[in-house]
Amino acid sequence: MAMSKRFLLTLIIPILFFIYALVTLSDYGINWDEPYHYRRGQAYLHYFLTGQKTYENMPKYPPLKGTSDHPNFRNSQQYFEAVQKNPSLSDPNFKRSFYQDDAWDGIFFIDESSSQGHPALNDILAALFNKIFFQKLGILDDLEAYHLFIVFTIFLATLFVSIFMAKEYGLIESIFATLAFASYPLILGEQHFNIKDPVETAFFTITLLSAYWGVKKNRFSWLLISALFFGLALSTKFNILFGIIPLLIWFFSQKLKLTKKIIWIIFVSPIIILVIFILSNPVLWANPIQGLAGTLKFYTEVGLSSTPLEDYTYFGFLNTYPTIWIIYTTPPILIFLFIFSIVFAKKLYQKNNFIILLFAWFVVVLARYSLFKATTYGGVRIIMEFVPALAMLTGISAGYLIRLKKTKAYLFSSFCLLLISATPSLVKTIKIHPHENVYFNFMSMGLAGAKAKNIPYWGDSYGNAYYEGLIWLNQYAERNAKLSLPIGITSNIPRFKLRPDIAVSPFYWSALKHDGEYLIELTHNYEPRDWFALKYLENAMEPVYEVRVDNVAIAKVWKNSPEYVKEEFKNQKNIPTTINANPAQATLTLELPQKERIMSVHINQPTEGCEHIQTGYLTSSIDKQSWVREKEDIAVDQLNRQAVKKLEPKYEYFFVAREAKTIVFYVGNPKSCLLKATSASATVLVSPF
């Protein structure tokens, strides 16, 4: 086959998936991390381009109904109201991004904010794409222009993998490796709305592959490319630091020698990497050493967890959750080919020692998330860089299987068989679009099976599921409707995608008053499912819309109006309870006349001459033998997103039909105002019988 034709064939899959990603850009929402990153990226980019730390010389963003997403943050509400009162402050002919936010400007990010946190290069590059494709060219909408950057980085990585595998192995390996990478559900979905992990994965991949070629071919140009992409990766997330380990394992296992070019890059690359890292983060300019130390401290703190997943932890340090998650969320054909690569590793190694790098790559990335109480949440998206290694191993296995026999008939039939084997997973992934990142394979019986098994974080869409609810609201909500979130903050949704007559505010959540506002919230497996706000909505209210995958709701929309309250929760009564304070044990016991299904307790307490509770917990029992501990701290406001409860004459704690006769508050402080309570009552459900 002519080299030019072969090269063109290696471009087909990357280009097809890039086109698919472009066509589907508008099908996705945002994750809860993006608003911060885009605001920071815009503030930095504006500073780079103009030298200004504010947007004062720019027309305001068009007025929106409701309140600011962060009414208590700096002067956010003041800016929000100013353009509401005077729409002429905005210019309909001027394209300004929603995330060019006056409250989140360069003064905040550069002068006031701490440098501790993720690096900022990906934020700046996303803002640059928004500047070009939305603000200047106008060929994409606001959000889609940011997401184009993520899609483009994945396209680069896919293209690099395709060309690399074709040159290192052959066209067959290239096709299957590229297809495995580009169609992997986590990659296919989150390249549309995850500003950190897909970008890091792309830079990580190009860094390691170009380093491999640079060493193998003794080419300084490839080593330089590796250093540049290492700098890009480090300026996105520090995950790339773990990429050094597999490279060293491969290098020393092959007993390679340090050439002059490798020695040169060892000395030059730290300068390149640090220049990229520091220049892309203005907050580091004043004191780079202190800023770098702060970033390292941040990663140390967020990377280690004091509360590992106990059901998945063995010997006190081995967390099997990431491995189990990968097994359940990887297309089965890829698992088969990956296992094949392990079983026949010796034969595959004899053909090319690159497989050592791939195994080391996969194991190191997985081990980082599996050992020493590493923080575990949301599946395996934060170690997404395992996917390219897995994909290339499966591609190598596919090539080996297809070439077992040299006949054309066998080659063609085995090639087609492997492609057909990949079809069911690909079809399902397309079917659950745009929620590819909640894909579970048949071994877990899909998402429904994952829910039944109670796999931690099943259905976690990373916030993307909100968007489908917004689409429903745009179509069916009455004019001038109000919308709020009972758990998350309103910046978690791209409110600028809503109809302009729909007002959004964190203050619209009216809880048990049922003022008729719409509420939207995620309903996957996460801690807030045990909080009163979400538990009440899920159990006592009929949703008006559900975002479903495999017949499992991962987000819901409610209309918080009395007619949507379920019948069994409509009839309630208030009954007195006895109280018994025990200052020595810092407990307050409430006793009901008989077992009831309790909705709330109300305690009259003094507000002077005592101390407000800072923390504590509550248990309840129907027989004083078995006790149930509530998940929410008694010091938080259950109706206001876990804010600290204010000291008021009436203390309230809410339940959702908790069966109990005795309730005990453990307040922890003998001087607590609760221990001086004068009376108490409980609101309970009235039995229909």
Picking from 551, 567, 583, the residue at the C-terminal end of a domain is 567
- What's the mean pLDDT when you consider all of the chain? 95
Region 267-279 average pLDDT: 96
Picking from 504, 533, 567, the residue at the C-terminal end of a domain is 567
Short-list 683, 379, 643, 459, CA closest to 533: 643
Residues in the chain: 689
Short-list 537, 539, 575, CA closest to 557: 537
Q: What is the pLDDT of residue 158?
A: 98
| 606-615 tens-digit pLDDT | 999 999 999 9
pLDDT range class, residue 40, cuts 50, 70, 90: very high
- The verdict on residue 451 lying in a domain is no
Count of the separate structural domains present in the chain: 3
Q: Count Cβ atoms below 10 Å from residue 22 Cβ, excluding itself.
A: 16
In 241-317, alpha helices (H): 244-253, 260-279, 288-303
**Distance separating alpha carbons of residues 672 and 18, to the nearest angstrom:** 61
Residue of higher predicted confidence among 577 and 4 = 577
- The verdict on residue 447 lying in a domain is no
Q: Are residues 193 and 312 in the same domain?
A: yes
Of 111-125, 261-275, 510-524, which gets the smallest average pLDDT?
A: 111-125
**Distance separating alpha carbons of residues 533 and 131, to the nearest angstrom:** 39
Pairing of strands 650-666, 617-621: antiparallel
- The verdict on residue 276 lying in a domain is yes
Give 51: exposed, middle or buried? Use CB within 10 Å, 0-12, 13-18, 19+.
Answer: exposed
pLDDT range class, residue 349, cuts 50, 70, 90: very high
Of 155-159, 634-638, 684-688, which gets the smallest average pLDDT?
A: 684-688
Q: Are residues 602 and 490 in the same domain?
A: no
Radius of gyration of the chain (CA): 28
For the chain, give the longest Cα–Cα distance: 91
| 540-551 tens-digit pLDDT | 999 999 999 999
**Distance separating alpha carbons of residues 366 and 360, to the nearest angstrom:** 10
Q: Which helix (H) or strand (E) holds 601?
A: strand 587-604
Copy the structure tokens of residue 94.
């001027």
Q: What is the pLDDT of residue 286?
A: 86
Q: Are residues 575 and 472 in the same domain?
A: no
Region 273-298 average pLDDT: 90
Q: Are residues 635 and 537 in the same domain?
A: no
Region 439-464 average pLDDT: 96
- The verdict on residue 438 lying in a domain is no
Beta strands in 427-474 (DSSP E): none
pLDDT range class, residue 277, cuts 50, 70, 90: very high
With the C-alpha atoms ordered 429, 435, 439, 445, is the resulting torsion angle positive or negative? negative
CATH code of residue 624: 2.60.120.260
Q: What is the pLDDT of residue 2?
A: 56
Q: Are residues 358 and 285 in the same domain?
A: yes
- The verdict on residue 650 lying in a domain is yes
Contact residues for 49 (Cβ-Cβ < 8 A; gap 6+):
none
Q: Are residues 525 and 580 in the same domain?
A: no
Percent of the chain having pLDDT more than 90?
90
pLDDT range class, residue 209, cuts 50, 70, 90: very high
Of 127-136, 181-190, 288-297, 550-559, which gets the smallest average pLDDT?
A: 288-297
Give 336: exposed, middle or buried? Use CB within 10 Å, 0-12, 13-18, 19+.
Answer: middle
Region 194-220 average pLDDT: 98
Confirm if 602 and 683 have CB atoms less than 8 A apart: yes
Q: Are residues 528 and 677 in the same domain?
A: no
**Distance separating alpha carbons of residues 537 and 529, to the nearest angstrom:** 10
**pLDDT at residue 405 tops 70:** yes
Of 25-39, 104-118, 275-289, 609-623, which gets the smallest average pLDDT?
A: 104-118
Q: What is the pLDDT of residue 371?
A: 86
Pairing of strands 482-484, 503-504: parallel
**Distance separating alpha carbons of residues 112 and 132, to the nearest angstrom:** 28
Q: Are residues 678 and 558 in the same domain?
A: no
Q: What is the pLDDT of residue 293?
A: 86
**pLDDT at residue 5 tops 90:** no
> Edge-to-edge, what's the strand order for the sheet holding 552-559?
503-504, 482-484, 518-522, 552-559, 545-549
Short-list 224, 122, 171, 155, CA closest to 7: 171
Short-list 335, 352, 342, 324, CA closest to 391: 335
**pLDDT at residue 115 tops 90:** no
**Distance separating alpha carbons of residues 15 and 125, to the nearest angstrom:** 22
Q: Are residues 184 and 247 in the same domain?
A: yes
- The verdict on residue 582 lying in a domain is yes
**pLDDT at residue 396 tops 60:** yes
pLDDT range class, residue 3, cuts 50, 70, 90: low
- Omega within 30 of 0 (cis) for the link into 288: no
Picking from 515, 544, 567, the residue at the C-terminal end of a domain is 567
Q: Are residues 589 and 476 in the same domain?
A: no
Q: Are residues 595 and 538 in the same domain?
A: no
Contact residues for 349 (Cβ-Cβ < 8 A; gap 6+):
355, 356
- The verdict on residue 48 lying in a domain is no
pLDDT range class, residue 378, cuts 50, 70, 90: confident
User: How would you classify residue 105: left for phi > 0, otherwise alpha for psi between -120 and 50, otherwise beta?
Assistant: beta
Which residue range(s) make up the domain with 537?
466-567
- The verdict on residue 256 lying in a domain is yes
Confirm if 564 and 682 have CB atoms less than 8 A apart: no
Short-list 10, 39, 53, 313, CA closest to 195: 39
Q: What is the pLDDT of residue 149?
A: 99
Of 213-222, 268-277, 295-304, 632-641, which gets the smallest average pLDDT?
A: 295-304
Q: Are residues 558 and 601 in the same domain?
A: no
Task: Give me the residue label for tokens 């968007």.
Answer: 467
